[in-house]
Structure 1
């Protein structure tokens, strides 16, 4: 087949998939397929087009750069440099995706990276983007999708079919002259006046009457997004039921992202689809990740317990030790605290090096805590300063300084780690404290339904406005670890495990061990002397 016929074959195949190739991209493919036997060219063309589909192109016009990426993906064999077994991802490198209302899908933001001290428009975008994520997720839930004609949405339907609800915007209520019953609105809970709560969405604000509200599972705070059900009359929305937007499994969410990498890291495509990594994950049944919080390196007792911990794992090194701060027991200030931490990190390196197999085979991830130097208490928090940990890193190359929060990728699994007293803050600021149920379950449902680590007012948990997406839990990860002074717990919701290892020194030296092969979080504790 000559080049002219090959070009026609390429053009026809791509058009069948709804794509149009740029001239230079077509020429590139001709060069790639010219040496291939005629009988195999169609098979390779279909591989290339399927790979491009997985990359979720923004336009039907395919550029050469995208074709090159697709060809590289198809030519890979085994684990390559982007199929990392273990990777630590900074919060400042998490990709940002925006929901396109016309295409009804998420697109990677083409805007330049946000600034730490961004413009005021970034603050407004925080809640607009959170609302958009939750609104599109809620609108396609089975409770809110329109009933099929002749189905269970009205009379004569299936008696076992779930009751259907209709989502209404706030502006619908504001435009009504009379009473409206059985209204359901998705909006943000806000206290715009002292002692008076309101529901706010992009279309308007309505005052609430919560005196007869029945609260569903969760911790309801200001700036949380809620589904409010009740009746509206005389400019007041009388709430009968208050719940969270329904969560969605990771598998369902990813259908709206394609195969693109939403989690972060070097790979262009999502590693959750990697058969090579899945095989590695399943074959390594003994792999584990150890989580500790409040690792006070200036405490003799803590250092002694760390020695016991490392000795216990010396013959079977974990994939990683995730050590969360604060790394000093007392809050200080200035250069004195930095000098002390530098010395204590040096002592930690000396301790790890006493166990050569751990130093060689395990990763040591350090996540800063609330009082560690030298950044304000604003999330996401940068990693420990390089000048403080320079000697520590040079002596222990397997160590890595992480941001707070940070993301870990182990084979196909996605893990979010945060060191913040989020359970405590949510309990203190909730509008209604639950009368029954475990706090762990309420907390897990809150952050997963909100699709965000910190659904709290900015005055309670300050954020860098432009990096709010780094704290987003959408699609849901496999594991969320929150280092909190609250009692240790493990809960699960919608296929996502939420765990708190508790304070290492305050909980009689207990910690958590995650087994990726079985997706189980195990409770562990060092014995008392």
Structure 2
């Protein structure tokens, strides 16, 4: 008994040195588990527990017994853990909400549960403030703005980022101003820059625009001078994006992507081995798959028969699933079309056994308003195909996320090129649109850098559109021509419209992280 008490004191002191306050039940639990170990092994176990708990970004430094139990289990488990999944489809309404703690300079998870699609009005501003905080903390530590740069970096390469309240409090001219804010029209025809501290009117008559697409309700860095209560903008640039490697230290092992696991599966060595060993594994992306079109069904049959011998990991089928609106009969027509697709797949036993068919709805698919994120197609419409194909078919939200081993994929069916270009305040004079779009999405940390009037969003579920930290692959299914772009270790892909591009699609190879262009040959004579 005395030995256990002494050991408990040793555990308490060790955790105290690392900034934790450990409850009596928790310290007793640790003491009991390490009592049979040698002195050296005890210290190793305690150190491992402390490191694991530090990476969890706990909101309070007080350790309860359940915290220590989970940490001990995760530290002592070998091989593939219960929470580790090789393939997981994560719907938009279960994405974790992350909040930035300014004092600790870390992200923490918001544990409050919200199933309300229409919360209090304060959330309309709050989701934009949250997005501002993500972009702001990423910008201030960029090498162009950081204050603790190395002596070798020249002072003229370092800029000072100001808040709008600093400008508003000044009665004299301020030169060399750089402000991060939301580009908006508070009064019609007049652009303002807004941040949580205030708003300032912009004079953009002499503005020089850098690369990217600048939309109302997008965050920008405005460079110029402040005079007579007006910010005269000489240059407008998108906030700098950040690679995943740079972002991860601010999250620790916190699961930022979603799914059942408490820790980030990207760090799993077991899953990485499975990923590397499966050299032939592929994921197929098709968009605008019109299941009421006989030509499309014929081409799909060729695709299924071609892959039946070596089934892919998944075939992602994205909407719209009907070639035209059918009015009041739309749901019934879709139900029939999905049932026919189920009968088309059923003879291919290898595909049914080893491949997942994932359906992501488009704007014209039933049965919800044009607000992101969109829920999956209702069960009443999909019952027959689910009965036919069982667990191999999954109907999910738009957007959605897919975790395959250590890789993170974000999918959305949306005509982003048209929407963003149409609502840009300045169209780029050079460079191609996919390059500009890729840079815009990753710098804005969202799939929808548009005003709510152009693209409505459920305020309390805006994290479903988040692109921070960067995923490995973003699939934007768009009517625009197919493209593949790489930017800061992230790939952005558009498979294009399946019937409008002569039945072309994209194939992703996770083992090599490459994207291949594929097409079903045209056999018409």
Query: Under a length normalisation based on structure 1, what TM-score does the superposition of the two structures give?
Result: 0.96
1:262 match: 256
- Aligned counterpart for 1:440 among listed residues 427, 434, 438: 434
Counterpart position of 2:146? 145
Q: Partner of 1:132 in structure 2?
A: 133
In 1: Cα distance, 2:16 partner to 2:227 partner: 55
Structure 1 pair 167/78, CA: closer, same or farther in 2 (3 Å)? same
**1:65 maps onto 2:66 in alignment:** yes
CA pair 32-149 structure 1, distance change in 2 beyond 3 A: closer
| 1:122-271 equivalent positions in 2, closer than 5 A | 122-146=123-147, 148=149, 151-154=152-155, 163-271=157-265
CA RMSD of superposed structures (Å): 1.5
| Aligned-residue offset at 1:58 | 1.9
Tell me the alpha carbon deviations over residues 305-324 of structure 1, each in whole angstroms, 9 at most, x when there is no partner: 10011111111111000100
**Partner SS for 1:2:** helix
What is the DSSP-based 3-state SS (H/G/I as helix, E as strand, rest coil) of the residue aligned with 1:74?
Answer: helix
Deviation readout 1:210-230 (Å, 9 max, x if unpaired): 121111111101000000001
Alignment deviations for residues 122-172 of structure 1 (CA, whole Å, 9 cap, x no partner): 111121111111111101100001255855444xxxxxxx71110111122
Q: Deviations over 1:46-66 (max 9, x none)?
A: 222222222222222111111
Map 1:92-491; keep pairs closer than 5 Å: 92-146=93-147, 148=149, 151-154=152-155, 163-334=157-328, 336-396=329-389, 397-491=391-485
Q: Is the 8 A contact 1:190 1:199 kept in 2?
A: yes
Which residue pairs with 2:45 in the alignment? Answer: 44
Which deviations, in whole Å up to 9, do the C-alpha atoms of 1:20-41 show, x marking residues without a partner? 2101111222332344455532
d(CA) in 2 for partners of 1:114, 1:286: 40
* Rounded Cα–Cα distance in structure 2 between residues aligned with 1:77 and 1:324: 38
Q: What's the secondary structure of 2:518's corresponding residue?
A: strand
Q: Mean Cα displacement is larger for which, 317-326 or 145-154?
A: 145-154
Is the contact between residue 147 and residue 164 of structure 1 (CA under 8 Å) also seen in structure 2?
A: no
TM-score, normalisation: structure 2: 0.96
**CA deviation profile, 1:416-461 (whole Å, cap 9, x unmatched):** 0000111110011110011110100100000100000000011111
Cα distance in 1 for residues equivalent to 2:410 and 2:270: 22
Shift, 1:370, TM fit = 0.5
Residue 16 of structure 1 corresponds to 17
Q: Between Structure 1 and Structure 2, how many residues are aligned?
A: 521
Tell me if 1:498 matches 2:492. yes
Q: Secondary structure of 1:255's partner?
A: helix
> Could you list the runs of 5+ residues in structure 1 that have no partner in the other structure?
155-161
Distance in 2, matches of 1:132 and 1:190, equals: 17
Contact 2:4 2:32 in 1 (8 A): no
Question: Take 2:96 and 2:418, find their aligned partners in 1: how far apart are those partners?
Answer: 29
CA contact 1:97–1:109 (8 Å) conserved in 2: yes
**Which residue of structure 2 lines up, in the alignment, with residue 157 of structure 1?**
none
Residue pair 2:319, 2:360 contacting (<8 A) in 1 also: yes
Partner of 2:76: 75
Q: Give the conservation status (yes or no) of the 8 Å contact 2:90–2:401.
A: yes
Note the C-alpha offset of 1:195: 2.1
Gaps of 5+ in 2: none
For the 8 Å contact 1:95–1:262, the answer to whether it is kept is yes
1:8 CA drift (Å): 2.4
Residue-by-residue CA offset, 1:92-137 (whole Å, 9 max, x unaligned) = 0000011112222111113332511111111111211111111111
SS in structure 1 of the partner of residue 502 of structure 2 = coil
Distance 1:150 1:407, change over 3 A: closer
Written as runs of structure 1 = structure 2, the 5 A alignment for 1:514-525 is 514-525=508-519
Q: What secondary structure does 1:366 align onto?
A: strand
User: C-alpha distance in 2, partners of 1:498/1:152?
Assistant: 33
Greater mean alpha carbon deviation, residues 303-312 or residues 143-152: 143-152
Match of 2:55 in 1: 54
TM-aligned CA deviation for residue 193 of structure 1: 2.4
Query: Cα deviation per residue 1:170-222 (whole Å; 9 max; x = unaligned)?
Result: 12222222222211010111122222211111111111121211111111010
For the 8 Å contact 1:126–1:468, the answer to whether it is kept is: yes
* C-alpha distance in structure 1 between counterparts of 2:256 and 2:141, whole Å: 20
Partner Cα distance (2:49, 2:199) in 1: 49
